[in-house]
Chain A
Amino acid sequence: MAANRRIRNLFLAPAIIYLLFMSIYPLIYSLYLSTTRKNLSRPYQKGFIGFDNYSNLITNDLFRTAIENTIVLAVASILIELIIAFFIARLFVAISDVPGSSIIRTVFILPMMLTPVVSGLLWSYILSPSLGIANHILRELGQAPYPWLASSDTALKSVIMINVWQWSPFLMLLMLAGLMSIPREQYEAAAMDGANILQVVRHIEMPFLRNVVLIGIIFRVIDNFRLFDIIYVTTRGGPGSATEVVTMYAYREMFGFFNVGYGSAAAVLILIMANIVTLVLNRFIRGEEGNVR
């Protein structure tokens, strides 16, 4: 048994030591930095300033805008993705016994496998005001060209559209897996009882979908709090502050202005917000199921 214990520790130790260095050390270091005025371009300027960075952040208009935009982006994207995903998933369930339908499905989910940088780039080309194919099509249809990413009124909507395009397939796949796990007899029994489509959705499909969808939402919330790549290649937070999001804000403070003290405070706040949302959603899952993670 003692030998087993040695083997066990030997197998686990590299992973645990690695993860300590990757999580606890950065966390403590970031917490420490967030209470200083450290700036990498001014190496001699240090000094403990307590919670000043945090109070400056909370009163900073741009940071507030970044939080608002992040929330709008996350909520709008996830809601639209859920609706699209549900209908497409049902469509693929309906044709799942047709030969070749799995190939169509694989083609459909390609966007979610793409490098986010690439999806940002190809959409910024498509949506380019003068050269873009999107406005060309609008003109052909007799519509006025749309400013897309170039105007502060429409930029956030355009980013949401790119986000939805890339990630609807993810929720679609989860729902598809959930729907496919429903035993056929349940549908047959419902048909015998004369249940209509809404009743089938409500009483048979929803219970099966609930957990996969909640897990999918947790992942999408975390993703949206981290959203960086698409913004970085399309708008960099602009025009003005129209698409400023929290990660972009912290990144610019840290690596644009070298304000690592202030930037770290922003990063710590992002971490806290992401954790609160995850905990709430997690509680929601455990709430009824009891044994799901």
Chain B
Amino acid sequence: MYARKRLKKAVLVVVALVLTILNITPLIWTFMSGFKTRLEIFTIPPVWIPKSLNLANYEAIFDKRLHNLENSVAITVGSTAGVLLIAVPAAFALTVFAMKNKKHLEFWILSTRMMPPIAAAIPLYLGIKEIGLYDTRWGVMLIYIGFNLPFAIWMATTFMRQLPGEIFEAALVDGCSWPQVLLRIAVPLSVGGLSTVAIFTALFCWNELLLAVFLTSSNAKTFTVVLTEFVGQTNIVWELMAAGAVIQIVPIVILTFLTQRYIVAGLTMGAVKQ
């Protein structure tokens, strides 16, 4: 009986392993293709493992596209910092202060997230042009912060509500001011939750395409936009595309492994009690 149970579990583990490997085969294939020469790309039948560890594709991208990678990094870091700076005090206020119509305010904040980006595209594009921030990192960050605030405030509020309210009162009695309560007590105690907020904001900014396409043209162009340009209509440079794709996803893969326990918490947004 016991042995049969163990055997069944072993079979299930093997099934899970096989399905998982199949599921990420496209990633493995792309990873391999990033090392291929132009000749190997056009070889029929296709080669899985390139003959040599050819780094020419990576060199070409770092040579020509370093500036766009820097844009992506700067915009991701800047937007995430901006989101935390604005969302955390707001979430704290929603957590600790009594307020008329609080439910309505919270619902309104979350509902702004439902807006499809395309519905705001033209007004935002014209507005950013008007204030002279078109094709600048600041312009992109300004818009990215706005798109991430609703979800960030909502998530941060969910996490701060889980803290015991007595701690804040005790700190006030001890002579702390409200900003001190926020910085010295609420933020350190909800660091896990706030990391989740940061991870999801960073992921959004790093992955975003539509807004970046019309907010930038050359100076502030992000790496996601550059990737779309490898597939022109006539000449598709698959080997560069593959190398570019790998550069784009390596940070994501690392982040996913480092933060796997926060990801479920962020996705379920408290819909499931852990």
Question: Which residues of A pack against B, CB within 8 Å?
Answer: 4-5, 7-8, 10-12, 14-16, 18-19, 21-23, 25-27, 29-30, 33, 88, 91-92, 94-95, 98, 101-102, 104, 106-111, 113-119, 121-126, 128, 131, 133, 136, 140, 165, 170, 173-174, 176-178, 181, 211-212, 215, 222, 225-226, 228-229, 232-233, 247, 250-251, 254-255, 260, 263-264, 267-268, 270-271, 274-275, 278, 292
Contact = CB atoms under 8 A, between A and B. Distances in A.
Contact of B248 (A98, A115, A125, A255): A115
B7 interface: no
Contacts of B273: 181
B147 A228 contact: no
B133 interface: no
B263 interface: yes
Interface string B81-111: 0000011011011100101000001000100
A28 B256 CA distance: 39
Interface stretch (B54-62, B63-71, B189-197, B204-212): B204-212
A30 B126 CA distance: 11
A25 B123 contact: yes
A247 B118 contact: yes
A273 B267 CA distance: 24
A110 B248 contact: no
B256 A110 contact: yes
Given A173-B263, A177-B272, A118 B17 contact: no
Contact of A12 (B13, B93, B203): B93
B207 A115 contact: yes
A122 B46 CA distance: 15
A8 B94 CA distance: 8
B220 interface: no
Contacts of A136: 44-46
Given A26-B124, A122-B26, A126-B29, A212 B268 contact: yes
Residue among A108, A173, A222, A263 facing the most chain B CB atoms (10 A cut-off): A108
B214 A91 contact: no
A178 B274 CA distance: 9
Of A23, A225, A268, the most chain B CB neighbours within 10 A belong to A23
Chain B interface bracket (under 10, 10 to 19, 20 to 34, 35 or more) = 35 or more
Contact of B16 (A11, A91, A111, A116): A91
B231 interface: yes
A225 B116 contact: yes
Contacts of A33: 122-123
B145 A18 contact: yes
A233 B236 CA distance: 12
B115 interface: yes
26 contacts: A11-B90, A15-B89, A16-B105, A18-B145, A19-B109, A22-B147, A22-B149, A101-B13, A104-B13, A108-B16, A111-B27, A113-B253, A113-B256, A122-B27, A122-B242, A128-B236, A173-B263, A212-B272, A226-B117, A228-B118, A228-B210, A232-B210, A255-B214, A267-B119, A270-B119, A271-B115
Interface in B186-244: 203, 206-207, 209-210, 213-214, 224, 227-228, 230-231, 236, 238, 241-242
A101 B16 contact: yes
A211 B271 contact: yes
B121 A254 contact: yes
A122 B242 CA distance: 7
B120 interface: yes
B146 interface: yes
B118 A109 contact: no
B77 interface: no
A121 B227 contact: yes
Given A10-B89, A30-B120, A110-B27, 19 more contacts: A5-B97, A7-B178, A14-B90, A15-B89, A15-B149, A26-B120, A91-B19, A94-B9, A106-B256, A111-B24, A115-B209, A116-B207, A121-B227, A136-B45, A211-B271, A247-B118, A255-B214, A267-B120, A292-B271
Contacts of A23: 112, 115, 120
Contact of B241 (A25, A121, A229): A121
Contacts of A4: 97, 178
A275 B26 contact: no
Nearest to B224: A117
Contacts of B260: 102, 106
B52 interface: no
A212 B271 contact: yes
Interface string B37-51: 000011011100000
A-B pairs with the 10 shortest C-beta distances? A26-B120, A22-B146, A15-B90, A29-B123, A11-B93, A26-B123, A11-B89, A23-B112, A115-B207, A271-B119
B204 to A, nearest CB: 11
B245 interface: yes
Nearest to B20: A108
B119 A125 contact: no
